[in-house]
Amino acid sequence: MNLPELDLRNAVFWQDPAPLLAELRERTPVAVANDGTKVVLRHTDVGNLLLSGLFVNEGVSLLARRGFRPGDALYEYRRQALGALSGPDHLRIRSLVGKALGSHNVQFVRSVVERRLPALLDGLLERDIDALQTLTCLPLDVIGEYLGIAEGDRAGVDALVREGQAKAFGREVTPAIVQRANEVFAELLAFVSAQIRERRLRPRNDVLARLIEVEEGSSTLSEAEVIVLFLNLFIGATESTASALSTGLLELAHEPRLLDALRAEPALVGAFVEENLRLHPPNILIANKVAKQEIEFCGLRFAKDEPVIVPVPSPNRDPRVFERPDELDLRRNPQRHYTFSLGSHFCLGQALARAQLQAFFEVLSRQVSRVELLQQAIEWEPYAAITRMNSLRLRLHVSG
Ligand code: HEM
C-alpha cells in the first residue's frame, strides 16, 4: 500500500510541525517517514499503540546501529535505562523507584520553585533578557536539589549530559563521536559512583540516598542500577521541563489575555500548564517503540522489531477529541494528551514536571503582568529530540 509521506528532513516541519501533521492526519491514519518507518497520526490509534502491549521500547538496537558496542560506557548505561528495558526488570525497577521517590516529591519541588523563583525574577524584571539563559535553567536547580547534587557540580553534569546525548543521538554518528560520547558517559558514571560512596560515608536524606536503601520484599536496586537511575532522572528532568517553561512563556507573550486570566483566577494555572503541554510537547516524536512480534495494526502489517513513530503534536491536536484543537483553552477538560506518553513507560517524572511548571507559572503570574517578546520570530533547533528554541528574548513587565 502506498502511504502518504511525512518528510522528517523538511526544515519547515521542525519549525512548525502542527499544520503539516494536521493536513496528513486528515488524509490518512498512518503515514510513512522518509526511511520507511510507519507514522501513526490519530488520537485513538496512538492510545491503542501505547496501551495494547503490541509495541515495546527498543532497547539498545539504535545505539548498536550507530556503532556502539557492549562494554562502551554509553551502551552499558542505555542497556539498563528504564526507557530501554521491558518486562519484569522494568516493572521491578519502576516499582522500587516509585517507592524510593515516595509521595512528598511534589511538595518538595513546589517548595524549591517557590523559594528560588521570586528572587530570580526580581533581578530580571523590566530588563531585556534571554529567558533560555536566565529563567528556564531553573529545572536544573530543582533536579539538582532533588537528587542532592552540590550546586557547584550541577552545570558541569548538565554540560556533560548535553554533549554526550547530542552527539550520540544526533543525525550523523562518526567513530570520533562514538569515542567522545563514551568518554563523556564514563565521566558521568564515575561522578555518580563517587556520589554513592559519599552517601555511604555520610548518610543524607536525598533521593540518591533513598534509591541506595530502597527495598521491596527481597528486591533492591543494584549499585549499577542506582547509577543508571540517577542519570535517568537527571536526563529526563532537565531539558524537557525547560522546553515546557519556554513554550509557556512564549504563549503568554503571544496571548496577553492568558496572563490576565491567570492573574485574575490563579486556579487556572493548572489548565494553562496542561494546555501548553498538549500544544507544545517537548518530545515532538516518540520514536523508541518497535513491534513486539509480527502484528497487524491500523490495518497494516508490522514485522517483528519494526519501528513505529508517534509525532506527538498530531494526536494532541486531533479534532476528533479536542474541539478547536489549536486553541489554548483554559476551560478545556478533560485533557487526554500524550505528551508524557502512556502505558508501561508513562513518564515517571510527570507529577514532578507538572508541579514544577505549575509553581513556576503561579509565581510568575503573581509578579509579572505582561510578557513582551523582543524578537520578530522564534527559531527552533531542527531534528532535536527535545524541542528547543535558539533564543527567547523577553521583557517581563511588572505593570501596564
Ligand atoms: C515536561 C517535562 C517532561 C516531559 C514532556 C517528559 C516526557 C517523557 C516521555 C515522552 C517519556 C517516554 C515514555 C515512553 O518511552 O513511552 C518519558 C519517560 C521518562 N521520564 Fe519524563 N518527561 C518530563 C519530565 C520528567 C521528569 C521531571 C523526570 C524525573 C524527575 C522524568 C523522568 C522520566 C523517566 C525516568 C522516564 C523513563 C520511564 C520508563 O521508560 O519507564 N521526566 N518522559
CATH of the domain at 261: 1.10.630.10
17-30 confidence digits (pLDDT tens): 999 999 999 999 99
Q: Determine which residue's CA is closest to atom 40 belonging to ligand 1.
A: 83
Residue type present at position 144? G
pLDDT tens profile 292-331? 999 999 999 999 999 999 999 999 999 999 999 999 999 9
| CB-ligand 1 contact for 80 (6 Å cutoff) | no
Work out whether strand 38-40 and strand 30-33 pair parallel, antiparallel, or are unpaired.
Answer: antiparallel
CB-ligand 1 contact for 212 (6 Å cutoff): no
Residue of 245, 347, 352, 358 with the most ligand 1 atoms within 8 Å of its CB, for mutation: 347
Which pLDDT band holds residue 129 (cuts at 50, 70, 90)?
Answer: very high
Q: Measured in angstroms, how far is the CA atom of residue 383 from the centroid of ligand 1?
A: 19
Residues in the chain: 400
How far, in Å, is the centroid of ligand 1 from the Cα of 347?
A: 4
What's 324's DSSP letter? S
Average pLDDT along the chain: 92
Q: Cell numbers for 330, please give them.
A: 483554559
Q: Could you give the number of structural domains in the chain?
A: 1
What was the pLDDT predicted at 104? 75
Ligand 1: residue whose CA is nearest its atom 19: 347
**C-alpha 90, offset from chain centre:** 19
| Cβ atoms within 10 Å, residue 265 | 12
Grid cell of 72 as nine digits: 562502551
Give the Å distance between the CA of 26 and the centre of ligand 1. 29
Q: Which ligand 1 atom is at minimum distance from the Cα of 57?
A: 15
Whether the CB of 340 sits within 6 Å of ligand 1: yes
Between 82 and 203, residue with greater pLDDT: 82
**What pLDDT was estimated at residue 36?**
93
SS3 readout for 333-345: CCCCCCCCCCHHH
The b-or-e profile of 312-324 (16+ CB within 10 A means b, else e) is bbbbbbbeebbee
Q: Give the position, in ligand 1's atom list, of the atom nearest the Cα of 354.
A: 1
- For residue 377, how many other CB atoms are within 10 A of its CB? 6
DSSP 40: E
The mean per-residue pLDDT over the stretch 183-198 comes to 93
Write phi, then psi, for 20 (nearest 5 degrees): -65, -40
Ligand 1 atom closest to residue 85's alpha carbon, by position in its atom list: 40
Q: Looking at the predicted structure, is the pLDDT value of residue 370 above 90? A: yes
Q: Domain of 219? A: 5-397
pLDDT, position 204: 85
Query: Which of 73-77, 219-223, 258-262, 277-281 is predicted least confidently?
Result: 219-223
pLDDT level of residue 280 (50, 70, 90 thresholds): very high
Give pLDDT tens digits for 223-252: 899 999 999 999 999 999 999 999 999 999
- What is the pLDDT, as a whole number, of residue 59? 87
Q: CA 24 to CA 296: how far, in whole Å? A: 21
CA atoms lying within 13 Å on the CB side of residue 127: 11
- The pLDDT of residue 132 is above 60: yes
Counts of helices then strands in the chain (DSSP H, E): 17, 13
Confidence of residue 220 (pLDDT cuts 50, 70, 90): confident
Question: Strands 30-33, 5-6: parallel, antiparallel or unpaired by DSSP?
Answer: parallel
**Whether residue 83 has its Cβ less than 6 Å from ligand 1:** yes
> Would you say the CB of residue 100 lies under 6 angstroms from ligand 1?
no
- Minimum-distance ligand 1 atom for the alpha carbon of 356: 27
Q: Is residue 400 predicted with pLDDT exceeding 70?
A: no
User: How many Cβ atoms are within 10 Å of 172's Cβ, its own excluded?
Assistant: 7
Distance CA 254, CA 276 (A): 13
Per DSSP, 83 falls in state G
3-class secondary-structure state, position 310: strand
Atom of ligand 1 nearest to the CA of 286: 10
Give whole-number Cα distances, 286 to 65, 234, 296, in Å: 18, 19, 20
Q: How far is the CA of 251 from the centre of ligand 1 (A)?
A: 23
Beta bridge partners of 389: 380
What radius of gyration do the chain's Cα atoms show? 21
Phi and psi at residue 149, to the nearest 5°: -90, 130
Q: Out of 38-42, 157-161, 238-242, give the one with best mean pLDDT.
A: 38-42
pLDDT of residue 21: 98
The reply to whether ligand 1 has any atom less than 6 angstroms from the CB of 232 is yes
247 lines ligand 1 (CB under 6 A): no
pLDDT digits (tens, 9 = 90+) for 74-103: 999 999 999 999 888 899 999 999 888 877
pLDDT reading at 333 higher than 90: no
